[in-house]
């Protein structure tokens, strides 16, 4: 069994966990947490919804629900997913206790100890932790600014002596890499998987959080492409568009996969909270999501812009990155000889935290990256944080690494 740390700080090194613990409660500037901003939650909207709930619906909040989900929420989700072009007439929706539970269910459904799972490298640490808990053999495939490396993926599949069970990807506003796949890359990925029997998990927690309308078309899910010869399980979450505290996610899959998943779901926690599902359903059905998303996109774009400008202003030229088109993250690239874990140790002493690159590497090695999350950052501390971090990095660049002496 594999020990990993709190989902909030999205790290799995005991060392870093300890450092973060020491630092919490101080005036630490944190680029670490991959969570939404406390001050941006739709508290007022949920207050209004709760106050107006009829008594019968309130009573239902307290009761058990169906394992597959609260039927009105399933209907609301259908219409939400239909707008994304997803095949909601044939495939079925299972409501889960957060989208991590969906990943857990899929893993339990398809993966036995020692089975192979392919992921991006870097990849979402929550998913990596699930795969490791189920004792899968994880192989990471590199990504570039346009998506997963197609040649590397082909070679990996060809080199393995058994077929991987799953490929897990987060194509839209990747955590941690901040990229979005191009449509061409999405198509190429589907072509590689075609008729291989490898099930694709398309995890899409961030697609509503694009910064500019003209980039919206990029978020179109692969599952909406209509390719029949790749089995795709699409997973989504309310964590980024309502709040992680609701623990609401869902998966959209073929009826066959749905049916087994429902059984696993029932054994994991019987059903998802009616209370949370009823509030979420009112949020969707009362058309509160669209105006709220408009507000969120503006707020997160604003933070991204400040971070981007600050990085341009302060970072040495050896540090490079792609400006994200949406999501929560900027993924800095350091020269190979600088370890982000070393930078972290110095940086935390100076009052700035982030998540180290190797946290997101399935083999916990590659460490020339820094994940900066701007989502939960007060706007007026971003520049200050970058200034401090850039100083630490500049110092690290100057110290000639021992291997190169």
Residues 276-315 binding a copy of itself (CB under 8 A) are 276
State the nearest-atom distance from the C-beta of 161 to a copy of itself, in Å.
24
Q: Minimum distance from CB of 56 to a copy of itself (Å)? A: 8
Question: Each residue of 243-258: b (16+ CB within 10 Å) or e?
Answer: bbebbbbbbbbeeebb
**Nearest 5°: phi and psi at 358?**
-65, -15
Binding of a copy of itself by 243 (CB under 8 A): yes
Tell me which of 72, 80, 133, 391 binds a copy of itself, using CB under 8 A: 133
Does position 273 bind a copy of itself by CB under 8 A? Answer: yes
CA distance 336 to 213: 36
The CB-of-128 to a copy of itself minimum distance in angstroms stands at 10
> Closer CB to a copy of itself, residue 18 or residue 395?
18
Pair of tokens at residue 105:
């269910």
Is residue 205 at the binding interface for a copy of itself, with CB under 8 A as the rule?
A: no
Residue 267 in the binding site for a copy of itself (CB under 8 A): yes
Binding test (CB under 8 A) with a copy of itself, winner from 74, 88, 98, 314: 98
Is residue 152 near a copy of itself by the rule CB under 8 A? no
Least distance from C-beta 254 to a copy of itself, angstroms? 16
Residue 203: CB atoms within 10 Å: 27
Angle between helix axes 125-133 and 99-110 (nearest 10 degrees) is 30
Q: What residues contact residue 379 under an 8 Å CB cut-off, 6+ apart?
A: 302, 303, 306
Give me the residue label for tokens 């490396």. 149
In terms of CB distance, is 231 or 311 closer to a copy of itself? 231
Nearest approach, Cβ of 35 to a copy of itself (angstroms)? 5
Closer to a copy of itself by Cβ: residue 133 or 381: 133
List of residues 6+ apart from 211 with CB closer than 8 A: 297, 300, 301, 304, 324, 325, 326
Cβ 68 to a copy of itself, closest distance in Å? 9
Residues 38-97 touching a copy of itself, rule: CB under 8 A, are 38-39, 41-43, 46-47, 50, 55, 58-67, 96-97
Which residues, 6 or more positions from 323, have their beta carbon under 8 angstroms from its beta carbon? 304, 308, 330
Binding residues for a copy of itself, total number by CB under 8 A? 63
Q: Can you give 155-204 as a three-state secondary structure string?
A: HHHHHCCCCCCEEEECCCCCCCCCCCCCHHHHHHHHHHHCCCCCEEEEEC
The CA-based angle 296-297-303, given to 5 degrees, is 90
Q: Which of residues 102-121 bind a copy of itself (CB under 8 A)?
A: 104, 108-109
**Of 242, 289, 348, 382, the one binding a copy of itself by CB under 8 A:** 242
Cα 393 to chain center, whole Å? Answer: 27
First vs last C-alpha separation in the chain: 40
Q: Determine, following the binding rule CB under 8 A, whether residue 256 of this chain makes contact with a copy of itself.
A: no
**Is residue 176 a contact point for a copy of itself (CB under 8 A)?**
no
The span of 188-196, 211-219, 267-275, 320-328 binding a copy of itself (CB under 8 A) equals 267-275
Q: Which of 154, 260, 345, 394 binds a copy of itself (CB under 8 A)?
A: 260
> Is-contact 69 276, C-beta < 8 A?
no
Instruction: Please name the residue that has the structure tokens 């100890």.
Output: 113
Least spacing, CB of residue 223 vs a copy of itself, in Å: 23
Position among 11, 49, 117, 130 found at the interface with a copy of itself (CB under 8 A): 130
| Shortest Å, Cβ 237 to a copy of itself | 10
Burial class (CB in 10 A: 0-12, 13-18, 19+), 54: exposed
Q: Which residues bind a copy of itself (CB under 8 A)?
A: 1-4, 6-8, 35-36, 38-39, 41-43, 46-47, 50, 55, 58-67, 96-98, 100-101, 104, 108-109, 126, 129-130, 132-134, 239, 242-247, 260, 263-264, 266-276
């Amino acid at each position: 069994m594999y020990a990993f740390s709190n989902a909030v700080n999205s790290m799995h090194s005991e060392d870093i966990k300890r450092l973060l613990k020491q630092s919490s409660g101080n005036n630490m500037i944190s680029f670490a947490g991959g969570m939404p901003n406390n001050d941006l939650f739709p508290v007022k909207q949920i207050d209004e919804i709760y106050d107006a709930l009829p008594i019968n619906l309130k009573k239902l909040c307290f009761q058990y629900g169906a394992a597959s989900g609260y039927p009105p929420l399933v209907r609301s989700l259908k219409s939400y997913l239909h707008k994304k072009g997803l095949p909601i007439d044939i495939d079925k929706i299972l409501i889960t206790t957060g989208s991590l539970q969906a990943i857990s269910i899929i893993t339990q459904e398809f993966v036995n100890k020692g089975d192979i799972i392919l992921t991006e490298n870097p990849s979402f640490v929550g998913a990596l932790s699930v795969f490791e808990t189920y004792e899968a053999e994880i192989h990471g495939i590199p990504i570039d600014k346009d998506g997963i490396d197609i040649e590397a993926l082909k070679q990996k599949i060809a080199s393995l002596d058994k077929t991987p069970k799953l490929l897990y990807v987060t194509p839209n506003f990747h955590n941690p890499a901040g990229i979005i796949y191009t449509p061409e890359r999405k198509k190429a990925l589907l072509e590689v998987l075609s008729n291989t029997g490898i099930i694709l998990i398309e995890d899409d927690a961030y697609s509503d959080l694009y910064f500019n309308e003209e980039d919206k078309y990029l978020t179109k899910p692969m599952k909406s492409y209509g390719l029949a010869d790749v089995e795709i399980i699409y997973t989504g979450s309310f964590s980024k568009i309502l709040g992680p505290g609701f623990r609401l996610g869902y998966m959209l899959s073929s009826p066959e996969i749905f049916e087994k998943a429902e059984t696993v779901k029932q054994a994991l926690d019987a059903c998802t909270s009616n209370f949370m599902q009823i509030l979420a359903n009112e949020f969707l059905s009362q058309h509160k999501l669209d105006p709220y998303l408009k507000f969120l996109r503006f707020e997160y774009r604003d933070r991204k812009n400040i971070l981007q400008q600050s990085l341009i202003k302060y970072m040495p030229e050896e540090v490079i990155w792609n400006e994200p088109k949406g999501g929560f993250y900027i993924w800095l690239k350091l020269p190979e000889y600088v370890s982000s874990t070393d930078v972290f140790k110095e940086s935390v002493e100076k009052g700035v935290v982030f998540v180290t690159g190797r946290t997101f590497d399935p083999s916990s090695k590659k460490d020339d990256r820094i994940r900066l999350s701007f989502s939960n950052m007060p706007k007026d501390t971003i520049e200050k944080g970058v200034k401090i971090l850039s100083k630490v990095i500049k110092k690290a660049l100057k110290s000639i690494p021992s291997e190169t002496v």
